[in-house]
Structure 1
Amino acid sequence: MAKDGTLLMPNSWSDYTDKAIQGDQVAGVMNGNWIIPTIEKVEANSGKWEITTMPTLSGEEGYASNGGASLYITSNCSNVDLAKDFLAYTFGGSTVTYDNALKDGGVISTYAPAGETDVYNEGVEYFNNQPIYADIVEMGTHVQIVEQSDYHYSARNYVGTAIVNIINGADTMEALQEAEDQLNFEMGN
Structure 2
Amino acid sequence: MQNNAFQKNVINYPDLFSDYSGSEIDFSQFPDGVTAYSQIDGDQYGVPFDSGTAINALRTDVLAEAGYTVDDFTGITWDEYLTKAEDVLAKTGKPLLSGVAGSSDILMMILQSAGASLFDADGQPTIAGNDELVDAIEVYAELVESGVLVEVNSWDEYISTFVNGSVAGTINGIWITGSIQTADDQAGKWAITDLPKLDGVPGATNYSANGGSSWAISSTGDAELAADFLASTFAGSTDFYDTILPKSGAVANWIPAGDSSVYAQPSEFFGGQPIFQQVVEFGAQVPSNNTGVYYYEGRDAVSAAMTKILGGTGIDEALDEAQANVEFAMN
Structure-1-length-normalised TM-score: 0.92
* C-alpha distance in 2 between matches for 1:67 and 1:14: 18
Matched, 1:36 2:177: yes
Give, in angstroms, the shift of residue 66 of structure 1: 3.1
Give, in angstroms, the shift of residue 178 of structure 1: 1.1
Contact 1:90/1:97 (<8 A) preserved? yes
Contact 1:21/1:38 (<8 A) preserved? no
Relative distance call for 1:57 and 1:146 in structure 2 (3 A) is closer
Residue 63 of structure 1, aligned match among 195, 198, 207: 207
Q: How many residues end up aligned between the 2 structures? A: 186
Any residues of structure 2 matched to 1:13-32 within 5 Å, and which? 13-18=155-160, 20-32=161-173
Residue 265 of structure 2, aligned match among 115, 122, 127: 122
Matched, 1:135 2:284: no
**Corresponding residue number in structure 2 for 1:159:** 302
4+ aligned runs moved over 6 Å, structure 1: none
Contact 1:2/1:8 (<8 A) preserved? yes
Q: State the secondary structure of the residue aligned to 2:265.
A: coil
Contact 2:187/2:270 (<8 A) preserved? yes
Q: State the secondary structure of the residue aligned to 2:146.
A: coil
**Corresponding residue number in structure 2 for 1:50:** 191
* C-alpha distance in 2 between matches for 1:131 and 1:69: 23
* C-alpha distance in 2 between matches for 1:173 and 1:61: 25
Contact 2:172/2:210 (<8 A) preserved? no
**Corresponding residue number in structure 1 for 2:324:** 181
* C-alpha distance in 2 between matches for 1:55 and 1:23: 25
Contact 2:173/2:211 (<8 A) preserved? no
RMSD, aligned CA: 1.6
**Corresponding residue number in structure 1 for 2:34:** none
Give, in angstroms, the shift of residue 27 of structure 1: 2.6
**Percentage of matched positions with identical amino acids:** 39
* C-alpha distance in 1 between matches for 2:162 and 2:296: 24
The one-letter code of the counterpart of 2:329 is E
Contact 2:301/2:325 (<8 A) preserved? yes
Q: State the secondary structure of the residue aligned to 2:245.
A: helix
Contact 2:207/2:283 (<8 A) preserved? yes
Matched, 1:80 2:206: no
Contact 1:49/1:127 (<8 A) preserved? yes
Give, in angstroms, the shift of residue 111 of structure 1: 1.2
Give, in angstroms, the shift of residue 73 of structure 1: 1.1
Contact 1:98/1:109 (<8 A) preserved? yes
1:13-38 superposed Cα distances (whole Å, 9 cap, x missing partner): 111111x2212232321100111110
Q: State the secondary structure of the residue aligned to 1:126.
A: coil
Further displaced range: 124-133 or 59-68: 59-68
**Corresponding residue number in structure 2 for 1:3:** 145
- Identify the structure with bigger relative contact order (alpha carbons < 8 Å, sequence gap 6+): 2
1:65-118 superposed Cα distances (whole Å, 9 cap, x missing partner): 1341211110112x2221111110112121111111102222111210010000
Give, in angstroms, the shift of residue 61 of structure 1: 5.0
Further displaced range: 60-69 or 179-188: 60-69
Structure 1 unmatched ranges of 5 or more: none
* C-alpha distance in 1 between matches for 2:259 and 2:283: 13
